[in-house]
Structure 1
Amino acid sequence: MIAWIDFLLLFLASFRLTRLLVYDKITAFIRRPFHREAEETLPDGSTIAYIEIKGGGLQKWIGELLSCYWCTGIWTSAFLYGIYVYMPDLASPLILILAIAGCAAIVESIIEKLIF
């Protein structure tokens, strides 16, 4: 069993890494080979954007994975826990940086909801 503080850091790091891969613009280049952005014009003239999964086989599987927050979260959690256990010298700074960024993202979301 791991200490509660390690669990908390892994939780926050997994949250941040998952959001980074699934939603953030800075990692769009990772999703681009697997997703196609499309737009649909609604009857009222407004448009909505959505993604279409590209290809088949492994390409489609990765595309589906990167479009699913919960699915990607399982894999990022497994990855972070794996390096935490087997490569602690590499994992410690990565997990700490992601956890700090995760806290900042949560605080920013709360402040944004309070202000707007």
Structure 2
Amino acid sequence: MSVVKEVTEKAKRVQRSYAGEADRPLAGYVGVMGTYSALVGGLTLLGRALGARIPNRIGFGDTVLLGAATFKASRLLAKDAVTSPLRAPFTRYEESAGDDELNESVPGRGHVEHAVGELLSCPFCLNVWIGTGLAGGLVIAPRVTRLAATVLTAVGVADALHLLYDAGKKLASG
């Protein structure tokens, strides 16, 4: 038996043993993790080519800024109605979730499509990708990254203020 065939058979046994009757896209997850690793490697190579150096420490202010920007960007990409065309090849619209957010399901098509659909419709999953990109940007292009992160953070703060304003109007009229 060839090595490729042995590895393939072992992967199928692991899939069956892990998932049981459920259709879990382990092969798709491997593909998504491989893509993430390749992107991190690409960021690393780009940083080296540009002569960027990882700072000895990242300040508290930058950490808070990147955290808030990561939160807003992941919600925007995973849940916003306007970004639904990016998710549409991998998800299906279910219903409005209020405040311009959508609930979507991930059909059980191919393993890669399903895994990508789960990634694109999950703000928690996107946090890792977006946070990594913003952190890499902070090292490679700090001024541009801080500007983009500041815009995302400002939009997130404005969203929170809109929600508080609407809640206050409901309390006052109620």
Q: TM-score range by the shorter chain?
A: 0.7 to 0.9
Matches within 5 A, 1:21-60: 21-38=77-94, 51-54=104-107, 55-60=109-114
Percent of aligned pairs with the same residue? 30
Aligned equivalents of 1:50, 1:23: Cα separation in 2: 7
Q: Give the strand-richer structure, 1 or 2.
A: 1
Match of 2:125 among 58, 71, 75: 71
Q: Deviations over 1:2-55 (max 9, x none)?
A: 22221121121111101110111111111111111247xxxxxxxxx9533143
Corresponding position: 1:3 with 2:59? yes
Tell which has more relative contact order, 1 or 2 (C-alpha 8 A, sep 6+). Answer: 1
RMSD after superposition: 2.0
Q: Secondary structure at the match of 1:25?
A: coil
Q: Deviations over 1:70-92 (max 9, x none)?
A: 11122211211111122224312
Aligned equivalents of 2:80, 2:93: Cα separation in 1: 14
Q: Secondary structure at the match of 1:37?
A: strand
Shift of 1:69: 2.1
Answer whether contact 2:79 2:103 (CA < 8 A) is retained.
no
- Unaligned 5+ segments in structure 1 are 40-48
TM-score, scaled relative to structure 1: 0.78
